[in-house]
Amino acid sequence: MSKDGHSDKLRLGFIATVEVEGRGCVGGLLVTNSNGRPLEFQCTTPVRPDRTQEILYGKMLRPWLLGELIGKTLLDRVSIKPDIVLTCDPDLLELRNHTSTPVACTSEDSERYGSGGRVTSSSEELGGRRLRFHLGHEDDSKFVKQQLHLIPGQADLEEPLERVQQALNETVKTVMTR
Amino acid sequence: MSDDINFTSKTAADVVLKTEGDVSGGQHFGAGIDCDSPKLLVECHKLDLSGSAALASAGFNPALKRVPQMDVVSVPLNKRADFVPSWKPRRIPVKCIGLTLPEGLAFQPPAQPNETSSDGIVLNKPTPQKKPERLDENGKPQRTRVKPPPNALSLQDRLFYLLQPPLESWLAGQELIMPFEPFPYQYEGIAWMFARHSALLADEMGLGKTMQTITGIRLLLRSGQVNRILLICPKPLIPNWQREFRTWAEELPIVTVEGSGARRRMLWTMPGVPILITNYESMTRDLAEFSEEDAPKFDLLVLDEAQRIKNRDSRTAQVARGISRRRSWALTGTPIENRPEELASLFEFMEVIPAHATPDLRQLSALASEHILRRTKDLVMKDMPPRIDRDAELQLTDAQQYTYRTAEKEGIIQLNELGDSISVQHVFELVMRLKQITNYDPLTNESAKLERLVADMEEVAASGAKAILFSQWTKTIDWLEERLQQFNPLVYHGGVPTKKREPILKKFKEDPNANIILMSYGTGAVGLNLQFAHYVFLYDRWWNPAIEDQAINRAHRIGVTAPVIVTRFICKDTIEERIDRVLREKRELAEAILGEGDNDNISLGMNASEIFGLFDLKKRTPKGAAQSIGPVRPEAA
């Protein structure tokens, strides 16, 4: 879909991660149509930074791991490219620095955004949630405004993230038992 | 800078340290400590250090006065410090697991704005009343998620189900418009069916098996899990299914297999038809004519009123099992009518047990918990107006009494005279004759039941309500029709042509003067929605309470707005009372198999020994399994 917002085939991406004790982080990306019906799902195997990376990246370790490493890999891998990626984890906003696809965070917990100043102070309301964007990509909110008419009013944009979490837990459970 | 440099020191001190006394001869410029008498002596001398220092004239002094010449030279700095090592952290390899979900079928255009325009005036279309949003214990909206079935082993299969949206949002008008919002237990039923290849939905009658099935089909088609579906039901229920499909899934194209043999053959094999509906007779007849290669194949086969295949050796059951399909759903409110083995036949159709397997009760119970979903009104419809059962115990009129006693006495004498040649059929004929006398005396037309019925109906008609009456015999129904003219009775039984049945039901619903409809169990007991009738009369008793319950639930079902009062007419000291007692004693076996939560709506029919026992007669048949007797189960005519 072009980003002028005129196509009715809006594809939404929902990205989330889960921590696997002792094995690192697993990420999943679900691509749905505008009604939340699943079209494609990709998830990673557990990813764990080594000690050198922990020292070198310091506070930026998690954004690097989730955004650049896991998020970008997943986004590159899906064959159905989403028009916007949604997450409830502010650290995943780092993904926006590595893709041209707008990334928005649904979390309304201001504490989760920390004091790093990485998110916009203003927000856009969509699907029952207030979306916030990466500070370096404030124009993403304009794109979201153009898509408002394609998202059903009663849609809950955090619900698909719960599905991603469940699918990741199921994957971890299956992989761990092998 | 000065030419002369003078260094002058004003004073200097010559310091002499001495120790007092003779300590190794004493020392100048030193210090000594007498260990025995430590006394330090310090002696000072003043020295003159004054003097002058001057430069000697050597001829190069002027050079010292010249300003030094300095040039500025630019030296470029390296962009990167040479001493920083050119090392980058290793990029962690990330592996992915992927799943692409089928696109599914799209049947309808996006919903239009909820407006209609007429003469320039924009009006809002009427919308069904929305139920208040259900919240869970955390205050969040309730969500019914599809759970992967236990037999889904591959990760991809399990993820497919986990990634489906909750049914509430899937069906909330985003993609699939629902005319009415389903009840919570219906959401659960839909999610349960959606995830199963072998499912027996055995909800009690009136809880919406049809709607749950249609919605399950709709979601499977929508998500691309099935493309071709065959639904088989009793012939009289085909219009009901057509109507329900129009109500719940108007976008789904359905084709009914009917007409001439050539036309039916064409319909069976016509491509691009997602849903075929046919009846059991047509299925048995038509599919037998196809060779194995040409036989139509289906993704989903649904059997409505699946008790029709309870006899696993019947032709119907064999043909149904032979249909090529990937999923098998069975629907019935009475999974066990007479014997637990009937359930085994259903399981064999669902391909959860091998052919001809005979699971015991424990195995049946285990299979039931896995493959059967059964809910009763008691459990799920707490808010539904109750069904009030009352047994009207009536005393036969004098004339009836005389006729009845005479017939009974003569009948028993005749039975005894038959000796060892007595068969269950002989006993059965006597039972039928006596039951008919309890309905009305054929000689005098006196009837205790009719008197009571008229009295009750006067109240029903006065309140503008409607009633349904069930009887086993069309003859009784016709007899009653003549005598209930003041209530404008309508007649609906097997003798009424199929084409006239729908208009009769329509008139019963819409005509305020039509207060009662007289139905036979066979024709009216299944598949009809008559929840606007709040009174049900069972004029005579069927052999199996499960069938009676099916009949009662034509009225007591979803949508009912007032309590449904069910009146069973039982004549005291007659065969009716004895039959009722036997049936009441047999209600527990089904509960043992189907588990807790079942009410007493399922019961077992009577077998030959029990029929003999009604007259204190011993069964004279060889040893073996009990022989079922009684009329053929009411098939829709």
User: What is the 3-state secondary structure of B7-22?
Assistant: CCCCCEEEEEEEECCC
Distance separating alpha carbons of residues B539 and B533, to the nearest angstrom: 16
User: Would the CB atoms of B94 and A39 count as touching at under 8 Å?
Assistant: no
Task: Give a yes or no: residue A3 inside a domain.
Answer: no
**Which CATH number fits the domain that encloses residue B563?**
3.40.50.300
- Residue A40 near residue B101 (C-beta atoms within 8 A): yes
Task: Give a yes or no: residue A27 inside a domain.
Answer: yes
Task: Give a yes or no: residue B86 inside a domain.
Answer: no
User: Would the CB atoms of B165 and A159 count as touching at under 8 Å?
Assistant: yes
Cα–Cα–Cα angle for B233, B236, B241, nearest 5°? 55
Distance separating alpha carbons of residues A11 and A14, to the nearest angstrom: 10
Distance separating alpha carbons of residues B564 and B566, to the nearest angstrom: 6
At A96, list the tokens. 């926006």
Task: Give the distance from residue A64's alpha carbon to the nearest chain B alpha carbon, in angstroms.
Answer: 11
Distance separating alpha carbons of residues A34 and A125, to the nearest angstrom: 16
Structural domain containing residue B549: 387-613
How many other β-carbons are positioned within 10 Å of the β-carbon of residue B12? 11
Helix (H) or strand (E) run with residue A147 in it: helix A140-147
At B10, list the tokens. 């004003």
Task: Give a yes or no: residue A146 inside a domain.
Answer: yes
Closest-CA residue to B484 (of B469, B498, B463, B501): B469
* pLDDT averages per 10-residue partition of chain B, 637 residues: 43 46 44 50 71 65 77 79 63 85 61 41 42 64 84 85 86 65 88 94 83 93 90 84 85 89 89 91 90 90 91 92 94 78 90 88 88 82 74 86 91 78 79 92 92 86 87 92 93 86 87 92 74 88 79 79 84 86 66 50 57 63 42 42
Structural domain containing residue A106: 12-172
Closest-CA residue to A148 (of A13, A10, A36): A10
Task: Give a yes or no: residue B115 inside a domain.
Answer: no
How many other β-carbons are positioned within 10 Å of the β-carbon of residue A26? 22
Cα–Cα–Cα angle for B520, B208, B558, nearest 5°? 80
* Per-residue pLDDT at B12: 45
At B519, list the tokens. 């139905």
**Beta strands B96-100 and B40-47: pairing type?**
unpaired
How many other β-carbons are positioned within 10 Å of the β-carbon of residue B617? 17
**Spatial CB neighbours of B426, under 8 Å, sequence gap ≥ 6:** B414, B415, B418
Q: What is the dihedral of CA A171, B105, B214, B281, to 10 degrees?
A: -120
H-state helical runs in B421-497: 424-439, 448-462, 474-483
User: Would the CB atoms of B165 and A44 count as touching at under 8 Å?
Assistant: no
Task: Give a yes or no: residue B113 inside a domain.
Answer: no
B492: left (phi over 0), alpha (psi -120 to 50) or beta: beta
> Closest residue of B to A49, CA-based?
B92
User: CA distances (Å), A54 to each of A65, A91, B447, in order?
Assistant: 10, 16, 94
Task: Give the distance from residue A32's alpha carbon to the nearest chain B alpha carbon, in angstroms.
Answer: 10
At B94, list the tokens. 């990330």
User: Would the CB atoms of B166 and A8 count as touching at under 8 Å?
Assistant: no
Using an 8 Å CB-CB cutoff, list residues of chain B that contact chain A: 89-92, 94-101, 103-104, 110, 141, 143, 145, 148, 155, 158-159, 162-166, 169-170, 172-175, 222-223
Task: Give a yes or no: residue B634 inside a domain.
Answer: no
3-state secondary structure of B287: helix
Task: Give a yes or no: residue A178 inside a domain.
Answer: no
Task: Give a yes or no: residue B60 inside a domain.
Answer: no
User: Would the CB atoms of A47 and B94 count as touching at under 8 Å?
Assistant: yes
Beta-carbon pairs below 8 A across chains A and B: 108
> Closest residue of A to B172, CA-based?
A154
| pTM, two decimal places | 0.62
- Residue A142 near residue A124 (C-beta atoms within 8 A): no
Q: Are residues B224 and B364 in the same domain?
A: yes
**Spatial CB neighbours of A29, under 8 Å, sequence gap ≥ 6:** A13, A14, A15, A41, A42, A43, A71, A74, A75, A77, A78, A82, A85, A164
Q: Are residues B401 and B323 in the same domain?
A: no
Q: Which chain B residues have a beta carbon less than 8 Å from that of A163?
A: 162-165
Beta strands in B268-381 (DSSP E): 275-279, 297-303, 324-331, 372-373
Amino acid at B289: E
**Which CATH number fits the domain that encloses residue B228?**
3.40.50.10810
Task: Give the distance from residue A30's alpha carbon to the nearest chain B alpha carbon, in angstroms.
Answer: 8
What is the rounded average pLDDT of the residues A105-133?
71
Task: Give a yes or no: residue B95 inside a domain.
Answer: no
Task: Give a yes or no: residue B220 inside a domain.
Answer: yes
What is the Rg, in whole angstroms, of the alpha carbon atoms belonging to chain B? 49
Amino acid at B159: L
Distance separating alpha carbons of residues B520 and A178, to the nearest angstrom: 60
Provide the domain count of chain B.
Answer: 3
How many other β-carbons are positioned within 10 Å of the β-carbon of residue A151? 20
Closest-CA residue to B193 (of B171, B161, B224, B165): B161
Instruction: For residue B93, give the DSSP letter.
Output: P
At B126, list the tokens. 């009427």
Q: Are residues B482 and B353 in the same domain?
A: no
At B557, list the tokens. 């079902």
Task: Give a yes or no: residue B223 inside a domain.
Answer: yes
Distance separating alpha carbons of residues B51 and B562, to the nearest angstrom: 135
User: Would the CB atoms of B100 and A8 count as touching at under 8 Å?
Assistant: no
Q: Is the dihedral of CA B495, B497, B500, B502 positive or negative?
A: positive
Q: Are residues B413 and B289 in the same domain?
A: no
* Per-residue pLDDT at B83: 63
Beta strands in B333-386 (DSSP E): 372-373
CA B551, distance to chain mean position in Å, is: 24
User: Would the CB atoms of A171 and B96 count as touching at under 8 Å?
Assistant: no
Q: Are residues B38 and B174 in the same domain?
A: no
Q: Are residues B287 and B228 in the same domain?
A: yes
Count Cα atoms within 13 angstroms, Cβ side, for B181.
14
Provide the domain count of chain A.
Answer: 1
**pLDDT-derived band at A1, boundaries 50, 70, 90:** very low
At A11, list the tokens. 């594809």
* Per-residue pLDDT at B117: 38
* Per-residue pLDDT at A4: 38
* Per-residue pLDDT at B9: 43
Q: Which residues pair with B484 in a beta bridge?
A: none
Q: Are residues B330 and B423 in the same domain?
A: no
Cα–Cα–Cα angle for B482, B488, B489, nearest 5°? 60
What is the Rg, in whole angstroms, of the alpha carbon atoms belonging to chain A? 16
**Beta strands B198-201 and B467-471: pairing type?**
unpaired
Q: Which of A37, A44, A156 sits opposite B94 (nearest CB)?
A: A44
Q: Is the dihedral of CA B372, B373, B375, B379 positive or negative?
A: positive
What does chain A come to in residues? 178
CB burial of B214-240 (b: ≥16 within 10 Å; e: otherwise) equals bbbbbbbbbbebbbbbbbbbbbbbbbb
What φ, ψ does residue A11 adopt, rounded to 5°?
-110, 130
Q: Is the dihedral of CA B180, B181, B184, B189 positive or negative?
A: positive
| pLDDT: which is higher, B287 or A107 | B287
Q: What is the dihedral of CA A76, A77, A82, A88, to 10 degrees?
A: -90
Best B174, B178, B223 member to test A by mutation, with max A CBs in 10 Å, is: B174
3-state secondary structure of B609: helix
